Amino acid sequence: MNSFIGSSIGRKIAMSISAIFLMIFLLQHLAINITSVFSPKLFNFLSHFMGTNPLVQFIAQPILIFGVIFHFLMGIFLEINNKKATISHYEKNTAKDNSSWMSRNMILSGLVILAFFILHFYDFWIPEMSHKYIHFLPEDPHRYYDELTHKFENIFRVIFYCISFILLSLHLLHGFNSSLKSLGANKIYLKPIKTIGFIYSIFVPFGFCFIAIYHHLNIH
């Protein structure tokens, strides 16, 4: 296992597996949060279920947090290694001609997403953990909707969230295809993967933007 992660191909495969895992999480996260736009009742029900189900809380959630941390640390590590490998000026110049802006700036978009994560955890995850596991407050199945909408009162938070979602879109536009290619996707599937990747990378971040702006405009 150590020698697998120690090899550069092993690290790339591990990075791709964590990326695909996070993309699946993102889809379910959007599916739950979008319900807050059309049915506060359904949103409260789903959030209460996710927030109190022991399988979600004590198995899925720790795996997710591990996946997030792993993806960030491995991304930074791979970037440092790539930088060391492309020391020649010639390679740097030709890279510009052969690759997209997104692929050359994965670390930049990744770092903005990391900054978003820190704010996002401070906004939602830390209050949630402190409610349940530090203060042991009584569970109220109706609290989730108000807690969510309250966060989007602040226009600066909405702007920062939306900028992060645009960078998330750029990150996914390269990351979706790249992760499947690294896992050896067959050449005949490359075209449909590109199309699905494009739809996913635009649709998912747009959905999150829509939620933030919608709640900002609908604060009572």
Contact residues for ligand HEM, defined by CB under 6 A: 26, 29, 33, 51, 61, 64, 68, 113, 120, 124-125, 128, 148, 161, 168, 208, 211-212
Query: Phi, psi (5° rounding) for residue 58?
Result: -105, -10
- Nearest 5°: phi and psi at 38? -115, -15
Residue 212 near residue 162, CB atoms below 8 Å: yes
Helix (H) or strand (E) holding 174: helix 155-182
Residue closer to ligand HEM, measured from CB, 143 or 185: 143
For residues 208 and 121, what is the distance between their CA atoms, to the nearest angstrom? 16
If the CB atoms of residues 161 and 176 are measured against ligand HEM, the closer one turns out to be 161
What is the number of the residue whose Cβ is closest to ligand HEM? 124
Nearest distance from residue 187's CB to ligand HEM, in Å?
30
Taking the C-alpha atoms of residue 1 and residue 130, their distance in angstroms, rounded to an integer, is 36
Please state the closest distance from residue 10 (CB atom) to ligand HEM, in A.
Answer: 25
The distance of closest approach from Cβ of residue 150 to ligand HEM in the complex, given in angstroms and rounded to an integer, is: 11
We find the least distance from the C-beta atom of residue 97 to ligand HEM, in angstroms, to be 31
Q: Considering the complex, what minimum distance in angstroms separates the CB of residue 212 from ligand HEM?
A: 4
Using CA atoms, how far apart are residues 95 and 20, in angstroms rounded to an integer?
A: 26
Task: For ligand HEM, give the closer residue by CB, 151 or 185.
Answer: 151
Q: How far is the CB of 98 from ligand HEM (least distance, A)?
A: 28
Rounded to whole angstroms, the Cα distance separating 205 from 132 reads: 29
For the record, the structure tokens of 216 come out as: 């900002």
Contact yes or no for 165/205 (Cβ under 8 A) = yes
Residue number, 79 or 128, with CB nearest to ligand HEM: 128
Name the nearest CA neighbour of 211 among 156, 147, 162.
162
Could you give the CA distance from residue 178 to residue 13 in angstroms, rounded to a whole number?
Answer: 11
Nearer to ligand HEM, 68 or 193 (CB): 68
In the complex with ligand HEM, the residue whose CB is nearer, 147 or 185, is 147
